[in-house]
């Protein structure tokens, strides 16, 4: 197993470490290809990347990005669409060329066609240099819920009740407003990335972090599949690391 745990003791150090890995990938590759997450966890990382861009420390002009997922049925202009999230937190403030930004099209009347189109774009770009991931309380990565196909590609996933409850905080705590489906890159797509950065913080993630990285590899805990990947950094704060057994 080549998982590298990196446990940081302050939010600032955690954020710097996340931004460092993204910037290193951007600098090391002529045409860097990134897979990017949404959710609460990466927000400070995006803020730090924006800060570095504004300070002239980094440019994202050569970057091609693919977001992990998008809700089905939300207009792009909806404040909680992942399209809105990414533009608000990152793309509007940096220099990633608009034509290099990709998110699955959750508004399509034909989700299968939207997924096929996304897969075609992924195939065209070739290798992903870095996939940045969060983790759901049930071990999902992207929106690959427990049981998802380990070799799967971009597809439409039914969100579990637990996932929808966790995300209700972004929808005025109204479960009825949380979409029931999302388009997500598949586990097969994610696992093909050359490098993976898994982000988690807070004690609420401690149990799933332990299960994912110190429990058996099983499709019931999608994140556990990362144990078979050759190049994974798991960046945690002390809360998220608190149930890990010391090696
Ligand atoms: C979001 C995504 C999800 C989240 C996960 C954790 O693009 O792919 O897997 O990373 O649900 O979300 P937060 O960070 O809100 O706890």
pLDDT in tens, 48-86: 999 999 999 999 999 999 999 999 999 999 999 999 999
**Other Cβ atoms closer than 10 A to 136:** 23
Angle between helices 11-28 and 43-54 (to 10 degrees): 60
The pLDDT assigned to 1 comes to 63
Residue 128 φ/ψ, nearest 5 degrees: -90, 130
Nearest CA to ligand 1 atom 12: 39
- CB of 142 within 6 A of ligand 1: the answer is yes
CATH assignment of 3-198+210-236, given 1.10.1060.10, 2.40.128.50, 3.40.50.1360, 3.40.50.11540? Answer: 3.40.50.1360
- CB of 69 within 6 A of ligand 1: the answer is yes
Distance between Cα 187 and ligand 1 center (Å): 14
Q: Are the C-beta atoms of 157 and 143 separated by less than 8 Å?
A: yes
Least confident of 1-5, 12-16, 82-86, 170-174: 1-5
Q: What is the arithmetic mean of pLDDT over 1-30?
A: 96
Q: How far apart are CA 67 and CA 45, in angstroms?
A: 15
Q: Are the C-beta atoms of 57 and 22 separated by less than 8 Å?
A: no
Show me where the domains of the chain are located: 3-198+210-236
Q: Are the C-beta atoms of 36 and 130 separated by less than 8 Å?
A: no
Q: Are the C-beta atoms of 175 and 165 separated by less than 8 Å?
A: yes
- CB of 35 within 6 A of ligand 1: the answer is no
């Amino acid at each position: 197993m080549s998982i590298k745990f990196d446990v940081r003791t302050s939010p600032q150090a955690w954020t710097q470490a996340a931004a460092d890995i993204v910037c290193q990938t951007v600098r090391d590759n002529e045409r860097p290809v990134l897979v990017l997450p949404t959710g609460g966890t990466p927000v400070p990382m995006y803020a730090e990347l924006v800060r570095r861009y504004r300070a002239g420390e980094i440019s994202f002009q050569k970057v091609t990005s693919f977001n992990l997922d998008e809700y089905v049925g939300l207009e792009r202009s909806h404040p909680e669409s992942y399209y809105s999230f990414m533009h608000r937190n990152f793309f509007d403030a940096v220099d990633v060329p608009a034509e290099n930004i990709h998110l699955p099209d959750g508004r399509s009347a034909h989700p299968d066609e939207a997924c096929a189109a996304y897969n075609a774009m992924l195939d065209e770009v070739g290798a992903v240099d870095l996939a940045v991931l969060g983790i759901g309380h049930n071990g999902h990565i992207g929106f690959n819920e427990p049981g998802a196909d380990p070799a799967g590609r971009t597809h439409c996933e039914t969100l579990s009740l637990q996932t929808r409850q966790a995300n209700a905080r972004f929808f005025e705590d109204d479960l009825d407003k949380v979409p029931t489906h999302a388009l997500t890159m598949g586990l097969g797509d994610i696992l093909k990335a050359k490098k993976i950065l898994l982000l988690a913080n807070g004690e609420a993630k401690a149990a799933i972090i332990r299960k994912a990285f110190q429990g058996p590899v099983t499709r019931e805990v999608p994140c556990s599949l990362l144990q078979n990947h050759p190049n994974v950094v798991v960046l945690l704060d002390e809360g998220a690391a608190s149930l890990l057994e010391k090696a």
